[in-house]
Structure 1
Amino acid sequence: MTTLRHEFYETDDKLTISVFDKGADPEQVSVKFEPRRLSYKNGEKELVLEPLKGQIDPEASGYTVGKVKVEIRLVKMAQGRWVSLVGDSPDPMTTTVIPQASSSTTTTTRKPKKNWEGITTEILSAEKEVTSDQDPNAGGDATVNSFFQKLYSEADEDTKRAMLKSYQESGGTTLSTNWSEVGKGHVEVKPPQGSEWKKWGA
Structure 2
Amino acid sequence: MSAPPRHAFYETDEKVTLSIFEKNVDPDKLEIKFEPHKFSYKHGETVLVLDPLRAAIDTAGSDYTVGKVKVEVRLAKTIAGRWGTLVSESDAEVPAPIAAPVSQPVQEAPKKPRKNWDGITTNLLSSEKEKTTNEDPNAGGDAALNGFFQQIYGNADEDTRRAMMKSFVESGGTALSTNWDEVKRAPVPVRPPEGQEYKKWL
Question: Structure 1-normalised TM-score?
Answer: 0.47
Select the structure of larger CA radius of gyration. Answer: 2
Q: Which has the higher helix share?
A: 1
Question: Structure 2-normalised TM-score?
Answer: 0.47
